[in-house]
Chain A
Amino acid sequence: DVKVTQSSRYLVKRTGEKVFLECVQDMDHENMFWYRQDPGLGLRLIYFSYDVKMKEKGDIPEGYSVSREKKERFSLILESASTNQTSMYLCASSNPGTKNQPQHFGDGTRLSIL
């Protein structure tokens, strides 16, 4: 079974801090994704990566960056955290090529910026 692990379930940080959210998948998936989830807005794509060291902007990349140095790990970085980045963050992974491959999600990190 696919396992997508997010390093923290809950995280509290202060305004202006640099914040790292980590995600690891164990199925050798090539694609990885970061979403944020807010009540009434559903999930919105922040960034995704389809290969090591590759990244593409999603719908709401402002204020975020990502890093993918190894295939299994995809990090989301808040360079200078702000209160409007308080949210639930979800990581997902998938494989390309085979059309029937869905995205598999981690349990999420609830991030609070004070």
Chain B
Amino acid sequence: AQSVTQPDIHITVSEGASLELRCNYSYGATPYLFWYVQSPGQGLQLLLKYFSGDTLVQGIKGFEAEFKRSQSSFNLRKPSVHWSDAAEYFCAVGNLYSGAGSYQLTFGKGTKLSVIP
């Protein structure tokens, strides 16, 4: 069965500093990979996704992620963090459900990001 590990429960960075959130997955085939962000009291917003092709994926709000098959990783990065980036971030892997031609998501436990002004 697929699984997702986010090793960092909580990360604190200063505004303007760079950010990297780690994500490792376990999946037998080529994975569909996602990063979502959740602000307090809100639902999840998609930041970016990887299905195939270029291993460096650009997303919204200045985020990017790099798929590294050899390391089973899909780390999220941002060169300069803004105070509004404070939120919880979830990495997810999609498991194709052939009966529906779609996929189910397995989520990591999340990384909470705090930003120091």
Contacts and interface: CB of A to CB of B under 8 A. Distances in A.
Contacts of A42: 90, 107-110
B1 to A, nearest CB: 9
Interface residues of A, number: 32
Given A50-B100, A97-B101, A90 B43 contact: yes
A106 B45 CA distance: 9
Nearest to B108: A42
Interface string A88-112: 0010101111011111111110000
Contact of B43 (A33, A95, A101, A107): A107
B34 A45 contact: no
Contacts of B32: 99
A102 B57 CA distance: 15
A90 to B, nearest CB: 6
Interface of B: 9, 32, 34, 36, 41-46, 49, 51-52, 90, 92, 97, 99-102, 104-110
